[in-house]
Structure formats: C-alpha cells, structure tokens
Structure 1
Amino acid sequence: MSISQAIQSALSGMNATQTQAAVVSRNIANAQTEGYVRKEVSLGSLVVGGSGAGVSVLGISRTVDEYLIRDMRKSTSEVGYQEVLNASLGLYTDMIGQPQDERSLASALGEFERELTLLGENPEDVALQQSVIARAKDLVNTFTRTDKSIRQLREDADSQISTTVADINRNLSEIHRLNREITARQNSGDVGDLLDQRDRLIDSLSKDIPINVFPSNNGVTIMTQGGVTLLDSEVHQVNFAASPLIPANAAYVPPPGPSALSGLTVDGVDITPNSGYPGSIAAGTLAGHFEIRDTLMPRFQKQVDELASQLTAAFQTADATVTGLAPEDTGLFTDAGNAHDPLAYAPGLAGRISVNALADPQAGGDPAKLRDGMHAAVAGPAGDPAQIQAFSSIFTQTFNFDVTAGIQTSATLGSYAANSASDAHAQQTTASVNMQSEKTALESFSNARLSRDGVNIDDEMQKMLTIERSYAASAQVISAANRMLDSLLAAV
C-alpha cells in the first residue's frame, strides 16, 4: 500500500467516525424525546479500482419492530376509548351523586315522600302543605338538573367528535405530506427524523381511531381496522356534521334512513360505531364519544324519563278529582303544565316535568289542593287525610318500567331511582377499571418499544468512546504517513 493510499484510508475512517459521532450525539440529545428512534450508522468497505481504499458510510439506519408498534397502537386506541367513557361518566355520576346523597333523585323522592307522610298525619297544617310543595319542586328541579346534564354531555360529546375529526383529517394531511417528502429524499439523504415525525403522527392518530398501517410505494397506507382507506396516494377525509343542540329525542339512524344526528363517513362509507356496517370503528376516542352520545346518555335519559313518567301518571291516577278530560286532567305533577299519557310521551319528560300551578303558592295556587285534590271545586274537611294517604301509597306501589332503559323492569319509584344511580356508577366503575387495565397494557408495550428502539445513554456514551479511539487511531495513521513523507522529502 502506498503512503497516499494509507492517508486516503485514514481520511475515510475519520470522515466515517465524524458521521458516527454526529449520529451518536443526536441520539444522546434526543434520549428524552418522545417517539425518537435510535439511529445507527451503517459502514462498508470502500473499494476503488478493485482495491480497498478505506471505509464508506452506507447510510443511517433506523430499525423498528413493526409488530410491536402495531400492538402498541391498538392498545392506544383502547385506552383512548376507555378514557373518554371514564371522564364523561365521572362527570355524570358526580352530578347525580350516590342514591343516599342529598342531590340524588332517590334522596329527593325520599324527602318528598317523608313530607307527604307527615302531612297525612296533619292534613290541616298549612306549613306542612307548603313544605310538601317545596319538596315536590325540589324533586322537579332534580329531574330538570339531571336532564340538563344528560343533554349537555351528549352535546359535549358531539362537539368533541367534531374536534377530533378535524384533528384526524389534519394529521392525515400532514402524514401525506411527510410521505411525499420521505419518498423524494429516500435515496439522497437521512430521512430518519422524518420517519420519527411520521410515526408520532400515526401514534397520535391511533388514539382517536383504530388503524392499520401498511408500507407502500407512496410511503405508508393507512386504513381503519375495518378496512376503510384513510390514506393512500391521497387523503380520504373523515366527514361529520356537528349538532350544537341535541334534543332528548335526537338519535343517530344509519343510512338510508333520515337521521337527526350525524354519523361518520369516509368516501360515503358509514364507519359510525354501532352502525351495523362491518367497517364501523369500535375503539379510540371517537368511538368513546359516540358511545356517550348515542348509547350511554340516552340510556340514562330513558331511565329518568321513565321515573318521571310513572311518578306523573301515578299522581294523576291517585287524584280523585282528575276526570281525564281537560282542563281537569292534570295531577300534582304535569308535563309542562299538561296532562301526561305514559303510553305516548316524548323523550325528555324529565326536563319538562313541573308542579301543577293549581297547588303552587308561588304561581297563585293553593297547597291545600294536596288534601282536597287538584280540581276540587270547594275545600274539603280540614282534617280529612284520605287524598293525602292515596298520594302516599304511591311510594309503596310496584310499577312496570320500559325494558329498553337497561335496568329492572318492576320496582317502586324509590328503588328505581336508586338503581338508576347505581347503574351509572357501575358503568363508570367498569370504565375506570378497564381504563387502568388498558393503560397497564399500553405501558408494557411502551416500555418494550422504548427498550428496543429508544436511546440508552450508557450504550451511546460507550459508542462515543469507541468512536473517539477510532478517530484518534486514524489521526495517528495520518501523522505517521506525514512523518514518512517528511523523511522521504529530506532524503531527496
């Protein structure tokens, strides 16, 4: 080997170690950067004219475990779904309280029943009459507050769906841009950081909607787990129309029927959770928000409406002065001032129930109507408890409730109210347990991914020491070659 070849080989070694040092330094700097994948320099022997001429940098590699990433993204979707359920159900259960809490429907019913029982023992007591009406209005306010909370949570879920869909479409567009940039630079430079950036966006996307990712000529193709394409050579946007106000009777109806609420579509394909389409999504934050909007909150709405319905109808039936013909067809509780038909009421009764103005002193009514009946033409005997006792007996009766409400179909009013609250708390507890379980699984996948693809600073520092020695050795070769050249020139 000539002196010039020795110098050339040493220079190639120094250039290679410089590249290695730069990559290792970048690894160390990004050790705590979320989603950063460790980079390594691939080296190869440099051959010129059939002879070895040192070392060459073949490229900067980034190796990941696609199967591990796939499992992690699936777990991320499950966590996103359970987090939404847990958060929304937590808000609802905080509002309604436990059955024994003062703010609960069960407690309001109990207070009303107790005051009514006391009045039955002293039917002529004006203060007690007024107290019963006050408790009846408290009960109505609890119904109204519960109904409002349900509607608000449905509207919030709808708004979150709209926001999440916008985020999904924005991420898809950015991934599409990165696909083009990576493809353009694939053979001309280091694309490792661009791949990291793309993976971070895909990871974020997987929390909102369950996806499958496949390599393609255009970078990556992204599909829902049901097989609907979101990204290939172009972006296939997810479509959704927000509904700022959601009435109690509003529901999503899959195509072809008309629907009061919007579903999710991609290129005209319905991917709405529970739509019946095989490609519908079943995880991710999107599915969680749909579960709240279209399943869980309507379930609770049905329960409180059923309770309001049976209560209103029972007081109509127990009132001896109710004839069934207007205007003498209303009981102590009304449907926004009107008589109530339990077989033909519209959803949202819990938000419309009111105390009959005929017995409400604040509306000009007479609380003595509790003793005489809502439509009594004249006052009855002051000490007659018959009508009040008829009202009180309502709370010991067993009523039949709609099976679609999801809880018991035969119960007293108090028992049904307590079970409705317990149902909500059970749903929230299940979501919380599932969330923690999924988070544990996700943490396991994350740690495995970090261990395999992340940066270990100790390992990188060890590499840096090796690179330093290699660089010093190449410098020594050049220094020795320089001395040899000096000796040669001195001898001439």
Structure 2
Amino acid sequence: MGLSTTLSIAQAALQANANQTTVVSKNIAGVNDAGYSRRIASLTTQADGIPTVTVSRSSNTELFNQLLSSTSDAQSADALSSGLDALEQTVNLTSSASNSESSTDKTSVGTSPAALLASLTAALTSYAAAPDNTALGQAFLSDAKALASKLNAASTTVQTVRKQADTDIANAVTDANALLSQFTAVNTAIVTGTATGADISDQQDKRDSILTALSKDMGIVTTTNVDGSMSIYTDSGVTLFDRKPNTITFSPTTTFADGTTGNAVVVAGIPITGSSSVMPLASGSIAGLTGLRDTTTVAYQNQLNQIASGLVTVFADSDQTGGSAATIPGLFTYSGSPAMPSTGQTGLAAAITVNANADPSKGGSLARMRDGNVGDPTNAAYNANTTGAAAFSTRLMALGTALNTAQTFDATSGAAASGTLAAYAGSSVSWLEASRSTATATSTSASALVNQATTSLSNSTGVNLDDQLSQMLDLEHSYSASAELMSTVKSMFGSLISAMQ
C-alpha cells in the first residue's frame, strides 16, 4: 500500500471519526428529551479500505404503537373521570344533609337529592304528628324548597358539564387539525429525504411527536409506505391522512339544556361520534368527552327528572269528593301545570318548584299543605279538610304513605327500576359514585400503562448516557490512532523527500 493511499485512509478515518463524534454528541444532548430517539452511527469500510459512516435512527414500531394506544385510552378515561368529578358536586357527601329548621342531624351525609328527600320525609312525619304547629309546617316547607332548589341546581350542573365537554371537543378538533397540518410538512420532508438519501432522523422524531400528540385527541393507527410516508386512520378505520390530511369538522353547541343534542365530529363526511356514527371513535379525549356529553350526563339528568316527576306525583292534589276533577300538581309544581308530567319528563328537574300557594312568603298559606288544596285553592274538590280543623292530619299522613309507596322508574338510565322515591334517589347517588369510582380507577390504570409504555420505549430507543460517554471515549482513542497514523505518514514523506534530495 502506497503512502498516498495510507494518507487517504487516515484522512477518511478522521472524517468518519468526526461524523461519529457528532452523532454521539447529539445523543448526549438529547438524553433528557423524551421525544428524542437514539442515533446510530454505523462504520463501514469500502473495497478500497476507505471507512464511511451511515446514520440511522433507533426505533421500535410495536412499542411506539403501544404508546399511542395507551395514550388514547388514558385521555378517554381521564375525560370521563373529570366530568364525573364535576357531577359529584350535586351529591356533596361531606356537607350537611338537611336545611330543615327542625333537623338536629348535621352529620356528613351530604346534600344530594336523596339526603334532602330523607330530610323532607322526616319533616313531613313531624308535621303530620302536629299539623297545628306552624313551626313544623314552615320546616316542612323549607325542606321542600331546598329539595326543589337542589334539583334545579343539579340540572344546571349537568348541563354545564355537557357544555364544557362540548367546548373541549371543539378545542380537541382544532388541535387535531393543526397537528395534521404539521404532519403534512414533516411527512413530505421525510419522503424527500428518503429519496435523496439524506439524514431524516430529526424529521422522524418530529413525526412521532406529532402522532403522540394526536393520539391524545383521538385513537389512531398508522401504516408506513415504501417511500417512507405514513398514513393515519382513526381507531375505527376512518382515514385522517393519506398523502394529504382530511379536515375534521365540528360545530359547537351554543347553549345546553335538558334535551339538547350535541353535534357529531365528522371526518370527510363520515361521523366519528354520535348515535349516527357507524365508525365511532373508541378512544382519545374526543371519544371520552362525547361519551360524557351524550351518555353519562344524559343518564344522570334522566335520573334527576324521574326524582322530580316522582315528587310531583306523590304530592299531587286529587279530587277528595270522589268526583271527576283531574289530578293536578300540588306542593311541587312546574311550568306545565295543571297537566301532570310524564315519568322523567325532559326539563322537569330544572323547572320543578314549590307551589307559591303554600308559601307564605309569596302570599300563600301553610294550611293548604295540610288541607290538600295547594294546586287550585279555588276548587273545593281538592280540599280534604272540609271542617277547617287545625289538627287535621289525614292529608299529611296520606302524603307520608304515598311517599313510602313503591313506584316504577325507567331503569335504562342506570338507577333502580322500582322502589320508593327515597330508594330510587339513593340508587341514583350510588350509581353516580360507582361510575365515578370506576372511571377514576380506569383513568389511574390507563395512566400507569402510558408510563409503562413510555419507559419501555425509552429503554429501547432512548439514550443511555453511560453508553454514549463510553462510545465517546472509544472515539477519542480512535482519533488518536488515526492522528498518529497521519503523523507517521507525514514523517515518512519527510524522510523520503530528504533521501531524494
């Protein structure tokens, strides 16, 4: 081998060493970057003995796909868990159960409709035992007003949670569209770099980062094409990106009330959420928020409406003469009076109120609760106390009996199918707490899986600082050897020139 060839090899070795050092330095710099994948500098020797370096990127498709899937599941579970946490304020299990002036039990049994209904029942029993006691009548009325107010407030909370979920869906759609736009540019750069043989590792890191962010909004699956490009689909199979992005559309709803139906998220004309979707999202925040908005909150609202309709039914005024006067709302009424509401009538929990005819602060009379003509004081057919006796208790006792009589409920909302009104209200609280507990546990488990997938991927494709520092030391030794070779060749060239002279 001639000196010139040896010198060329030594120079190439120094250049290869510099390239390898650059890669290792880059790895060390990215040691704390969660989105950085380790670069691998592979040294190969050509037929003429000249060493060259090729750079590749460490990857693990299976672990990365697992990370995407677990991230989507975690976001879906977290959306539902957060929504149920907000609904729990309608139960408030750490607060006092009663607003009654006669109540002496202020233990931590909550201010749920169930707790307030129990307080109302106790107040009714006390009032029935002494119907001429104005203070007991006022206490009963106060509990009735507190229960109606609680149902109003709980209904408002439900619709507020639905509205927030709808807003969050809109934000997630905006975010997903922005990410798909970023993905377009990065994907194009990767295709171009693949065709020209350029180092595309930085673009691949960025593409993975975009996919991870997108998986928070919705469940996705990907395929890689022969030219290095990638296609993205929802976890239900709808195309999000194939050479170009499909726009995701969604129209937020301005105001939510009981009975309002939120709009669907649509991709290329295909609904991916909502009852009309044949390819619904299975995971991601959009899926979780849609389930919260359209299923969980709607079920709970239905339960509140059934409690309200049960109250109107129990305390209704009926013909006391045996005649044909229609049964009408009595102590508890609503805007549709004098018609009786249907079971779980839409909007009833938001509209229920205590009849002003029984409220002295509104010009009414407490005696009407005792006598049974709250709904229509002008119609004598509804008056059970025809003698006007101050100690008349028959009507109040009948109300107590009705309150403890089993009713039939719509079980599709999740609470009990039948039982007393108090039992149904209790089953509603149990349903809410069980749903929240399950959602919290699912969210915690899903988050743990994300952490596990992240750790596994990092161990497989991330940077080990000790390993990189060891490689840097080896490269320093290699550099010294190549430099020594060049020095030797230089010395030999010098000796040769001197001999020629």
Do they superpose with TM above 0.5?
A: yes
- Tell me the equivalent position of 2:280: 280
Distance 1:110 1:183 in 2: 68
Report how far residue 79 of structure 1 moved.
1.1
Q: Secondary structure at the match of 1:243?
A: coil
Residue 78 of structure 2 is aligned to residue 83 of structure 1: yes
- Aligned mates of 1:282, 1:322 — CA distance in 2: 57
Rate the CA distance shift 1:308–1:397 in 2: closer, same or farther, 3 A.
Answer: same
* One-letter amino acid matched to 2:240: L
RMSD: 2.1
CA shift, 1:281, in A, is 1.1
Corresponding residue for 2:192? 184
Match for 1:220: what amino acid? M
Identify which of 236, 243, 247 aligns with 1:237: 247
Change (3 A) 1:175 1:324: farther
Distance 1:350 1:195 in 2: 54
2-structure distance, mates of 1:307, 1:164: 35
How many residue pairs match? The answer is: 476
| Cα separation, partners in 2 of 1:310 and 1:95, compared to 1, 3 Å | closer
- C-alpha change, 1:41 and 1:323, in structure 2 (3 Å) is farther
Q: Which residue of 1 aligns with 2:231?
A: 221
Asked if 1 retains the 8 angstrom alpha-carbon contact of 2:343 and 2:409, the reply is no
Identity %: 31
Per-residue deviation, 1:320 = 4.2
In the TM superposition, what whole-angstrom CA distance separates every residue of 1:161-206 from its partner, at most 9, and x where no partner exists? 1110111111011001111122223325322111101101101111
- The match for 2:437 among 429, 443, 465 is 429
- In the alignment, residue 222 of structure 2 is paired with which amino acid? V
Within 5 Å, which residues of 2 pair with 1:77-476? 77-98=72-93, 101-186=109-194, 187=196, 189-216=198-225, 217=227, 219-251=229-261, 261-272=262-273, 275-277=276-278, 279-317=279-317, 320=320, 329-336=328-335, 338-343=337-342, 346-373=345-372, 374=374, 375-376=376-377, 380-476=388-484
Q: Secondary structure at the match of 1:467?
A: helix
Check conservation: 2:10, 2:486, Cα contact below 8 A. yes
* 1:262-310 superposed Cα distances (whole Å, 9 cap, x missing partner): 1121111122155451x22111111100110111100001111011001
How far has the Cα of 1:383 moved from its partner? 1.0
Q: Deviation of residue 218 (structure 1)? A: 6.5
Change (3 A) 1:380 1:295: same
The superposition leaves residues 211-243 of structure 1 with CA deviations (integer Å, 9 ceiling, x where unpaired) of 111112371110112221100111101111100
Distance 2:139 2:247 in 1: 59
- Paired residues of 2:309 and 2:345 also in contact (CA < 8 A): no
Range that drifts further, 235-244 or 482-491: 482-491
Q: Deviation of residue 337 (structure 1)?
A: 6.7
TM-superposed deviation, 1:323: 8.3
Is the counterpart of residue 55 in structure 1 residue 51 in structure 2? yes
Distance 1:343 1:323, change over 3 A: farther
Give 1:318 deviation, angstroms: 6.2
- 1:296-337 Cα offsets, whole Å, 9 max, x none, are 1000011110110011011115684998868x9330000137
Q: Which amino acid aligns with 1:286?
A: I
Offset from partner CA, 1:430-487 (integer Å, 9 cap, x none): 1122222222333222221111101110111111111111111111111111111222
CA change 1:344–1:409 in 2 (3 A) is closer
Structure 1 residues 325 and 184: CA distance shift in structure 2, 3 A:
farther
| Helix, strand or coil at the partner of 1:476 | helix
Amino acid at match of 1:490: S
Higher relative contact order (CA 8 A, sep 6+): 1
Q: Deviations over 1:361-401 (max 9, x none)?
A: 22111122111221445882111111111222222111111
Distance 1:352 1:324, change over 3 A: farther
Equivalent-residue separation in structure 1 for 2:247 and 2:387 (angstroms): 69
Residues 234 and 240, structure 2, Cα contact 8 Å, conserved in 1: yes
Note the residue ranges of structure 1 that are not aligned, 5 or more in a row: 252-260
Give 5+ residue unaligned stretches, structure 2: 98-107, 379-385
Counterparts of 1:323 and 1:246, CA distance in 2: 43
> Normalising to structure 1: TM-score of the pair?
0.92
| Partner SS, residue 102 of structure 1 | coil
Deviation, 1:339, is 3.0
- 1:101 Cα offset (Å): 2.8
Matches of 1:287 and 1:323, distance apart in 2: 55
1:321 to 1:342, Cα distance in 2 relative to 1, 3 A? farther
- The one-letter code matched in structure 1 to 2:35 is G
**Which residue pairs with 1:479 in the alignment?**
487
| Native 8 Å contact 2:302 2:413 kept in 1 | yes
